[in-house]
Structure 1
């Protein structure tokens, strides 16, 4: 069994297939985000983080598959680097982080209340996962698209220096912003 298959079995054991989410179940969403990350040529750690990105819940999705106090369990499953991505993503205080991210390169934690200054590679993984996750939700929920579309169109282009070019191109296509750098 591949590592991805092991993680998928873990997600099913945690009930992810029965948790409603935009476009079906949480399990389906997690798999779509992972597949999209893979399609952008991102590495195994990024793919495993994408597949488990909501394990601790998120600022926008409060359902928890694993208590943050049990981080070692997820580390054992997906590895230290991928779990750190999940922890940063799930713990992000979006209100304090997202708008300021391009200028501060700081991620505020809703778990601890503290700020973190990730390395450029960690920041890129965070930006990529955040964007890809929201693109999947945007495409599958007309309500979220109507409510958050303008916000995403104003926010994510400012993240271009932080995110992968392939993710930004997908963002521009999906949100119909126009080509990066275009007028």
Structure 2
């Protein structure tokens, strides 16, 4: 895998800094998600997935900066695990990610084409962490009235999150700490 500067240069070469996103630009948002995950102690693969999480476009941000044909180049740059997570983040619907928090395993997520993709428990936990980082990075730029959006869904998602991500979400939403088996 390459260094952060090379990854950012790749993103810049594809115009990511010129795309508007949540009152900033897409590069600033991607970097912010990466930095939150790093601050929370996430492993490098998840941080890299955060840096690339919406480059292929998402349901909410359909403007993809990197065409799917370049997935092999992205995979070479950030590794197969991180690229797969970034691709899945762009492919699955937000409602499927939130619904899975209530439904639990097996994690079968609807994709934007109406199909279904199965993910492992570890992949679901990573996608949940990406979802939290994605939301919390943008949240300060949103209207006060929307800062607690999806509280019920995020509350359900907490049990799948790594400890540091769950703690950040609990602080942001004012949730009482979740007592999990083994963490009591």
- Give TM-score scaled by structure 2 length: 0.87
Report the 3-state secondary structure (helix = DSSP H, G, I; strand = E; otherwise coil) of the residue aligned with 1:41. Answer: coil
Could you report, residue by residue, the CA deviation over 1:72-117 in whole angstroms, capped at 9, with x for unpaired residues?
1211111111100001101111234422334142222214x32222
- Give TM-score scaled by structure 1 length: 0.87
Report the 3-state secondary structure (helix = DSSP H, G, I; strand = E; otherwise coil) of the residue aligned with 1:116. Answer: strand
2:141 is equivalent to residue 140 of structure 1: yes
Structure 2: segments with no counterpart, 5+ residues: 180-184
In the other structure, the counterpart of 1:107 is: 109
The within-5 A match list for 1:28-107 is 28-104=28-104, 105-107=107-109
Could you report, residue by residue, the CA deviation over 1:91-150 in whole angstroms, capped at 9, with x for unpaired residues?
111234422334142222214x322221221111111001110111112222xx523623
Post-superposition offset of 1:23: 4.5
Could you report, residue by residue, the CA deviation over 1:38-73 in whole angstroms, capped at 9, with x for unpaired residues?
111111110111001111111111111112233212
In the other structure, the counterpart of 1:161 is: 159
RMSD: 1.8
More off after superposition, 80-89 vs 171-180: 171-180
In the other structure, the counterpart of 1:175 is: 173
